[in-house]
Every structure is written in C-alpha cells, then in structure tokens.
Amino acid sequence: MNNSKITEEHLIEALQLQCQQNCGQKHIIGIQDTSEYNYTHHRRRIKEGTLGVVGNNHDPGYFAHLMVVFDAETYLPQGISYCRLWSRDQQRKGRDHEASKKLPIEEKESYRWLEAIDQTRRLLNQTSHFTFLSDRESDIYQLWSKIPDEKTDLIIRARGDRLLFDQPLTMIESLDKYEIAGSFSIELKGDTRVKKSRRTALLHVKFKGVLIKKAKGLTQGHDVSKNVSLMLVEAKEDPSTCKEGQPPVHWLLLTTHDVRTFEQACNIINWYSFRWQIEQFFRITKLQGINLEASQLETGVALKKLGLIGFASALKILQLSLARDGTHNDQVNKYFNTQEVQVLGLLDEKLKGTTIKQQNPHSKYTLVSRHK
C-alpha cells in the first residue's frame, strides 16, 4: 500500500477500464453519491500530515465520491466510471461561507456532481444513452443547466421547492393544482432505528412540466441559462396508510425524461428507487462488510489505496448479490479475470457435495444462468 509505483490514479484507471469494457453501447443508469471514511479511532496511529479531516472538520479521514453504472435492462452493475478521494483542510471551517457561495461551481466541492457525469460520458462514449440518478444534494441549478443533452437525462430528488420562471408560483404550489394521475401500492420494510413500522403504503402520483427559474445567487458570470425546462414527478402516500407519528412517504423528483403518461411517471419512480444500490455499495465497504474504517494502516496514502481496492471488491459483491436470483444471465469474464475464473472453478470442484442440492446449479462460464 505504500509502494510509490502504485498510485491512486493507477487503481482508479483499472476500475474505469473494466467499466468501459463492460458497457459497450448499452443504455446505462449512472448512480453517484458521496460517503466518508472516518479513522478517528486510529488517530494516534496515522502519521501526522498524511490525512486531512472529514465532515465535522475534526476527525481524520477522507471522502469518496463514486459513480457506479448499471445496465438499464438487467440492472446489473457494470463498473465504476468515476472515483474521487479527498480530505478537507482543518482550517476550512474558518472560511467565509458567504464568499464561498459566490465562487464558480468549478471551484467548489459540489463540482464533483458535474465532473462525475462529464468524465463518465467521456469514458463511455459508445453508450447509447445515459440516465444519471442522485439524491437531494445534487439538485444544483448549474447541473440542470449544463449537463442534459440528447443522449443524457437526469433524475434527481428535489432538495426543496423552486420558483417557476413563467408563473408567480413555486413548483409545489403549481403541482397542488393538478389532479392525481394514478395510484399504486408498495411494501415498506420496518426500521426500528428511525421508528418506521412495516406497512403497505398507497402512493398517489402526479406529474407536470415546469420551467424553473435561475437560482437567485447565480450571477451572469456563472454561465447558466435563465430557466430550465423539467418534468416534476411526485409520489405521495395517502394518509389512510400512514402510521400515526410516522412521516408519510413523499418523493418529489425532477427529471429531464419526457413524462406524458402515468406509466412513464411510474417508470421514473422505479428508476429512482434503484438509487438505493449505491447506498448498499457503501454499506458493503463499512462495518457490515469489508470494514475499511477498521484498517490499521499508518498513512493517508495507504488508506486511500486500500479504499480503492475495497471498492473493487464491493463492486463484485454487489454484482453477485443482485444476480443470485438467477433472473438475468451474464458472462462471468465481465466481472472476473481469467485467473479468478480458474480459481472459482477449482473451488467449485473442491467444495461441491455428492447430491444435487450440494452442487452449483449454474453454468460454468456464466454469472447467473440456471440449468434447464
């Protein structure tokens, strides 16, 4: 991990190369998000000056922003197209917040949301179409203004309400005047951590086109349009299925995809729900999986390189976990190299039992194919 000949750039390029080889001319769904890796429990072990701080401006660690891309038809992960690792300077907390708000987007941490898309499009230039998903933090006017084109669409959960360009209303005020387009039910899992009980939620769907106004803080020098045309898709739980004392399900999504029917609106909601997979990816790297934060390596450089290797492993785990129901078939050599496939074959021979139930039911050179 401390070998200077192996750099972060080399490891990121290896991740991107596999991604590029797998995607081809597919329609891909790119899901991006940020997580932080906190090493405060190993503070005394880490060599001073080799690692900055994370979100609380105190604990040593680093941030990781990734774009994981999926096949839009099979929903199987194809690779990691973008990865950026960084730490903050501990003196950052003294910076003038108002002054920083006026900086060009390219000089802010939030530029990572645009950079990840631009780099993914360059890397996967043969791809037939891109749909990029992300959560509230990426609801940035510059992204809406600069990114979409005939080959690129976005689905982002709205950070809050926005002013409309052509009406003296906000998005939500405008949507409230619309009739419900249709309804459907979903099964919600319980979560004792946030006091959420298991239930069947009835969701009402609305959608409409909106022309959103340029954010107030953006000046002419920010090189963005005065307005952006988007589709607004809402899924809101009926009060009859919401448990007392619990917040109702309420998704307010913005998208550049054309939405003209209830079925198309449901498709946008379904695609956005798949954003959970990047949460699962980061979960695999944390305590419940690889547990990168338990590492006892002593330099920031080594910890970040270990993180990149961990991301490669987490990707394989996610690929296998999503494929294990046998619904979709794919070639194993897209996810494992020749030597790894040979090792898997040897392990299969060694571990299989004498009965049918003790043997692998899948074909030898495919990831998820059942015997007929």
Owning domain of residue 222: 160-263
Q: What is the per-residue pLDDT across 91-106, written as a single tens digit (0 to 9) for each? A: 665 555 566 667 788 8
Model confidence pLDDT, tens digit, residues 199-240: 999 999 999 999 999 877 775 555 788 899 999 999 999 999
Where residue 121 falls among pLDDT bands split at 50, 70, 90?
Answer: very high
For residue 141, is it within any domain? no
**Least reliable range by pLDDT among 7-21, 99-113, 148-162:** 99-113
Query: Looking at the structure, do residues 7 and 72 belong to the same domain, yes or no?
Result: yes
240 and 296 within one domain: no
CATH of the domain at 231: 3.90.350.10
pLDDT surpasses 60 at 139:
yes
Asked whether residue 113 falls in the same domain as residue 1, the answer is yes
Please tell me whether residues 167 and 238 are part of one structural domain.
Answer: yes
| C-beta of residue 222 within 8 angstroms of C-beta of residue 104 | yes
Q: Which residues contact 25 (CB under 8 A, 6 or more apart)?
A: 126, 127, 128
Spatial neighbors of 230 by CB under 8 A, at least 6 apart, are 144, 209, 210, 211, 212, 254, 255, 256
Distance (Å, whole) CA 217 – CA 108: 15
Three-state SS across 6-47?
A: CCHHHHHHHHHHHHHHHHCCCEEEEEEEEEEEECHHHCCCCC
H or E segment at 118? Answer: helix 112-123
Q: How many domains does the structure of the chain reveal?
A: 3
> DSSP class of residue 112?
H
Q: How far is the C-alpha of 294 from the C-alpha of 215, rounded, in Å?
A: 42
At residue 140, what are phi and psi to the nearest 5 degrees?
A: -120, 130
Asked whether residue 154 is domain-assigned, the answer is no
Does 116 fall in a domain?
Answer: yes
Q: Do 204 and 313 belong together in one domain?
A: no
Q: How many angstroms separate the most distant Cα atoms in the chain?
A: 73
155: in domain = no
Based on the domain organization, do 121 and 249 belong to the same domain?
Answer: no
Determine the average pLDDT of the residues in 242-263.
93
Instruction: Check whether residue 236 and residue 127 sit in a common domain.
Output: no
pLDDT in tens, 315-353: 999 988 888 766 676 788 878 888 988 998 888 889 889
Mean pLDDT calculated for residue range 180-184 = 97
Q: Please, which pLDDT band fits residue 361 given cuts at 50, 70 and 90?
A: confident
**Residue 254 and residue 279 in one domain:** no
